[in-house]
Amino acid sequence: MQNPEIEARNKLKAARRIVVKLGTSTVTDPQGGVCAQRVEPIARAIAELMSQGRQVMLVSSGAVGLGRNLLGLHASRLKDMAVKQACAAAGQSLLMEAYKSFFDDMQRKVAQVLLTEEDFSNWTRYSNLRRTMEKLLGFGVLPIVNENDTVSTAELEILDGSRQAAFSDNDRLAALVMSGMEADALVLLTNVDGFLIKAAGAKQPELESFVARVTPELRAAATGPTQSGRGGMSTKLDAAEIAMNCGGVALIANGADTQTMQSAFAGEPAGTIFAPVTRMRGKRRWLAYAAGVRGRVVVDAGAQRAITAGKASLLNSGIVRVEREFGSMDVVSIRDLQGREFARGIAAYASDERINEGKKTAARVLFTRENIVVLEAAG
């Protein structure tokens, strides 16, 4: 039987559709400009993958930092949302100018794709996004993706808890692009060698080269945000888990090492490799990871068993209470009596239509079987 780590690295080596994400610490230098020393070798490695007939999508951070440097603003000014958005507007053109210059030298065409939360949380827009990306890949173009920070604050702000964003950082954005495009691999390049764990009594953390399952212990070992970026190892772990649960491999590795990409796609040791777990497709994958959750219901034990064991629809009679109102076709979190989310569904009608009319509404289907995803099946 093949070694699981070797098997996972061979899957990365064989990947035909790949999402590569560069963090701010990789893209920018200490002066606030694009760090050509780090980015150019990565761009060259991406061009080489494309020359092998592979399809690559690049998710890049860095626009806010580049814009702040261009406008000559102190980091403390970024506490103001409008200032952040202005920096994003100024920096995004610089970011694309740099990438176009790198890839022009390699005879590769690029396209800018700026996304908002609604491009993921709305099924119609999500489907349109997929079709556009497929066309770009079919034309042999490298899509360069970032959140449209100029008009969207989903990544820039802290949510108030009234709803759940589709993404709140570029690590998750990259994972959702990987999920939506059914890519084979997600590569997260950062400023450390991979997922590092410090054992009790050890002076220095050591690299965890292989992860078969994201455990509570791994989550506890994840560190906080990086100095220049909005994410951190915790968000990368979340992104890697999404990739695993979508049937792909994920890699967290050092973007400063010019040989990282070449080594990784040669099947050689590089960074931390995460093995695939399962594979969901289509609307179920969207429900589990991309959809913006608008409502919340608590169901009784019988309804929970029917959904998880019997793969049944959810009737109005199984609802114990509505904890957050929702509209028709909204995505709703389905929770057990202890408040744990175990499924999500698309509502057939709005919560305010659940008028108590006794038997007449008890058998009415609120979530049909094909519009429910059981999250326990996703890990």
- Alpha-carbon distance of 202 to 198, in angstroms, equals 6
Residue 241 is encoded by which pair of tokens? 């888990």
Answer whether 232's CB lies under 8 Å from 223's CB.
yes
> Which pLDDT score is estimated for 202?
72
Residue 154 is encoded by which pair of tokens? 């989903």
Which CATH superfamily does the domain covering 4-284 fall into?
Answer: Acetylglutamate kinase-like (3.40.1160.10)
Q: 3-class secondary structure for the chain?
A: CCCHHHHHHHHHHHCCEEEEEECHHHHECCCCCECHHHHHHHHHHHHHHHHCCCEEEEEECCHHHHHHHHHCCCHHHHHCHHHHHHHHHHHHHHHHHHHHHHHHCCCCCEEEEEECCHHHHCHHHHHHHHHHHHHHHHCCCEEEEEECCCCCCCCCCCCCCCCECCCCCHHHHHHHHHHHCCCCEEEEEECCCCCEECCCCCCCCEECCEECCCCHHHHHHCCCECCCCCCEHHHHHHHHHHHHHCCCEEEEEECCCCCHHHHHCCCCCCCEEECCCCCCCHHHHHHHHHCCEEEEEEECHHHHHHHHCCCCCEEHHHEEEEEECCCCCCEEEEECCCCCEEEEEECCCCHHHCCCCCHHHHCCEEECHHHEEEHHHHC
For residue range 165-192, list pLDDT tens digits in order: 556 689 999 999 999 999 999 999 998 9
* Mean pLDDT calculated for residue range 206-217: 90
The segment(s) of the chain belonging to CATH 2.30.130.10 are 292-378
Residue 355 is encoded by which pair of tokens? 């008028």
> Between 290 and 85, where is the model more confident?
85
Please state, rounded to an integer, the average pLDDT across all residues of the chain.
87
According to DSSP, the residues that pair with 142 across neighbouring strands are 110
> Which pLDDT score is estimated for 231?
52
Identify the top-confidence range among 195-209, 212-226, 341-355: 341-355
Entry pTM: 0.85
For residue range 124-172, list pLDDT tens digits in order: 889 999 999 999 999 999 999 998 876 655 444 444 444 445 566 899 9
Judge whether residue 34 has pLDDT over 90: yes
Whole-Å CA distances, 273 to 158, 165, 344: 30, 27, 29
The segment(s) of the chain belonging to CATH 3.40.1160.10 are 4-284
Percent of the chain with pLDDT over 70: 88
Judge whether residue 289 has pLDDT over 90: no
Residue 305 is encoded by which pair of tokens? 């068993």
* Mean pLDDT calculated for residue range 217-239: 70
Answer whether 54's CB lies under 8 Å from 91's CB.
no
> Which pLDDT score is estimated for 160?
40
> Which pLDDT score is estimated for 152?
58
> Which pLDDT score is estimated for 31?
86
Judge whether residue 341 has pLDDT over 60: yes
CATH 2.30.130.10 fits 292-378, yes or no: yes
> Between 236 and 222, where is the model more confident?
236
> Which pLDDT score is estimated for 158?
41
Residue 312 is encoded by which pair of tokens? 């049944």
Residue 139 is encoded by which pair of tokens? 């034309």
* Torsion 231-28-193-246 (CA) sign: positive
According to DSSP, the residues that pair with 331 across neighbouring strands are 293, 346
